């Protein structure tokens, strides 16, 4: 089977194929599949669907539809078919034989996109691991040479003892060995991430994580908040999150510190976006990438409310969060991109939902106010008496808080300030 790397200059023309059953929203899924193919520099030219309760175990489609597809391949001179589902190795093999075209399933397509987008060492390793897990059961003789090259056969220590099954076994052993090495490298990287996360927690700053469907506007929202509330160099271009109107524009989890006008501070993290039918291998591989969300005090579920399928997207996000064990964390639903709809914004809907446009400053302010109600809900106004000879204590308070009032008596300063429960315990000896 041919490799799926796309030509950078001219999009490769492809057919999209999918099955509709009584419980699937095929129109939505095929629209998403078209967006995924475009993101991978492929151009969908025709769509073929068939109503089946379950895929044909041998060829995915029924016999008649396979014949129709084979005819269309000849007529359109298209040499690639992209399926809406994950196909078994035998389904791919049989479809390719019947149509004389390369078959790429939804999982392979998403893995290809992730491989192109990965920037950090951790992301690259996670994608590589997921791709190897996907490829292992799909190895066959015709793939051996290209996979040998792809999995780094040089210096592997394996000696070829002929062709056929022996060659396949050699490729399997090589890939399995590489997966072991990648898992070890990821484990080492995770230790460093745990150390950094612990260091942030020592600062006792609340952690707020953006989650949601890919292309919902998470990175745009983060950048706009950084422009207004970023700390020092965090507002520089190098600290901005990459944003683009495309699926999976960024795979990196980034964490930035925000300081509000009243000096309250919190950490904001941007996580990888979700998509329906996200490959299980990839969900597992990216569990550590979503660690910031798992450790969050508050989740911000960003939804593109201008998309007619936004309710399906919300369900996908909630399902994926559940799959990676992120549950029982307070969440605000942010209905974003309201400027593309007839909805008014910013507009609150109770304590846990808000309609906004990330580009609108009033929306940003309203969102920040709502976030503050959630993460600073244990804050109380207290009055402290700081003796004159303990100026360092007052300086520490002044660095992180805005005094609501400040006066003096003969022995020290009387300061009225908002403190969290932890801070009240810390400064308990000074509370009047």
Task: Confirm or deny that 216 is annotated as ligand binding.
Answer: yes
Ramachandran sector of residue 302 (left: φ over 0; alpha: ψ -120 to 50; beta: rest):
beta
- Give the Å distances, CA to CA, from 327 to 131, 317, 318, 319: 27, 12, 9, 10
Angle in degrees, 0-180, between the axes of helices 121-135 and 165-202, rounded to the nearest 10: 150
- Give the Å distances, CA to CA, from 237 to 59, 134, 215: 50, 37, 20
DSSP β-ladder status, 353-355 and 331-336:
parallel
Task: Confirm or deny that 74 is annotated as ligand binding.
Answer: no
DSSP β-ladder status, 265-270 and 254-259:
antiparallel
Task: Confirm or deny that 218 is annotated as ligand binding.
Answer: yes
Task: Confirm or deny that 154 is annotated as ligand binding.
Answer: no
Q: Which residues contact 66 (CB under 8 A, 6 or more apart)?
A: 59, 95, 98, 99
Task: Confirm or deny that 317 is annotated as ligand binding.
Answer: no
Task: Confirm or deny that 366 is annotated as ligand binding.
Answer: no
Task: Confirm or deny that 348 is annotated as ligand binding.
Answer: no
Q: How far apart are CA 273 and CA 221, in angstroms?
A: 14
106 with 83: CB under 8 angstroms? Answer: yes
Task: Confirm or deny that 219 is annotated as ligand binding.
Answer: yes
Task: Confirm or deny that 7 is annotated as ligand binding.
Answer: no
Neighbours of 304 (CB within 10 A): 21
Q: Is the dihedral of CA 156, 158, 162, 166 positive or negative?
A: negative
Q: How far apart are CA 359 and CA 366, in angstroms?
A: 13
Q: How far apart are CA 217 and CA 359, in angstroms?
A: 10
Q: Which residues contact 387 (CB under 8 A, 6 or more apart)?
A: 411, 412
Task: Confirm or deny that 335 is annotated as ligand binding.
Answer: no
45 backbone dihedrals φ, ψ, rounded to 5°: -115, -20
Task: Confirm or deny that 338 is annotated as ligand binding.
Answer: yes
Task: Confirm or deny that 337 is annotated as ligand binding.
Answer: yes
Give 302's strand partners.
212, 334
Looking at residue 56, the DSSP 8-state letter turns out to be: B
Query: For residue 391, what is the enclosing H or E element?
Result: helix 391-400
Task: Confirm or deny that 195 is annotated as ligand binding.
Answer: no
Task: Confirm or deny that 270 is annotated as ligand binding.
Answer: yes
**Residue set of the binding site for Mg(2+):** 219, 250
**Residue set of the binding site:** 212-219, 250, 270-273, 336-339, 357-359
**Residue set of the binding site for GTP:** 212-219, 270-273, 336-339, 357-359
């Amino acid at each position: 089977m041919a490799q799926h790397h796309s030509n950078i200059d001219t999009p490769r023309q492809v057919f999209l194929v999918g099955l509709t059953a009584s419980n699937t929203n095929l129109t939505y899924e095929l629209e998403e599949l078209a967006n995924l193919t475009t993101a991978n520099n492929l151009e969908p030219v025709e769509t073929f669907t068939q109503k089946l309760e379950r895929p044909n175990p041998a060829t995915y489609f029924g016999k008649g539809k396979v014949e129709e597809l084979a005819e269309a391949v000849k007529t359109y001179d298209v040499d690639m078919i992209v399926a809406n589902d994950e196909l078994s190795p035998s389904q791919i093999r049989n479809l390719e034989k019947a149509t004389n075209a390369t078959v790429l399933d939804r999982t392979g397509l998403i893995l290809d996109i992730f491989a192109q987008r990965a920037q950090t060492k951790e992301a690259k390793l996670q994608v590589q691991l997921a791709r190897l897990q996907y490829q292992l059961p799909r190895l066959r003789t015709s793939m051996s040479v290209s996979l040998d090259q792809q999995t780094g056969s040089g210096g592997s220590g394996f000696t070829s003892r002929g062709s056929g099954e022996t060659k396949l076994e050699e490729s399997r052993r090589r890939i399995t060995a590489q997966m072991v090495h990648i898992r070890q490298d990821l484990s080492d990287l995770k230790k460093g991430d745990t150390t950094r996360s612990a260091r942030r927690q020592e600062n006792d700053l609340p952690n707020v994580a953006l989650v949601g469907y890919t292309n919902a506007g998470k990175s745009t929202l983060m950048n706009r908040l950084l422009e207004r509330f970023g700390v020092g160099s965090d507002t520089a271009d190098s600290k901005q999150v990459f944003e683009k109107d495309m699926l999976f524009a960024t795979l990196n989890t980034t964490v930035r510190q925000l300081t509000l006008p009243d000096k309250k501070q919190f950490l904001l993290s941007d996580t990888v976006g979700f998509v329906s039918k996200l490959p299980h291998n990839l969900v597992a591989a990216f569990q550590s990438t979503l660690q910031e969300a798992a450790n969050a005090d508050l989740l911000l579920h960003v939804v593109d409310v201008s998309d007619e399928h936004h309710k399906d997207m919300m369900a996908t996000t909630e399902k994926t969060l559940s799959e990676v064990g992120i549950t029982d964390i307070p969440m605000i639903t942010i209905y974003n991109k309201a400027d593309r709809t007839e909805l008014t914004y910013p507009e609150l809907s109770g304590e846990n939902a808000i309609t906004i446009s990330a580009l609108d400053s009033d929306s940003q302010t309203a969102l920040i106010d709502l976030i503050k109600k959630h993460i600073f809900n244990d804050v109380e106004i207290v009055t402290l008496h700081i003796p004159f000879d303990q100026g360092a204590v007052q300086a520490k308070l002044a660095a992180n808080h805005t005094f609501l009032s400040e006066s003096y008596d003969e022995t020290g300063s009387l300061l009225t300030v908002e403190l969290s429960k932890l801070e009240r315990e810390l400064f308990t000896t000074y509370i009047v």
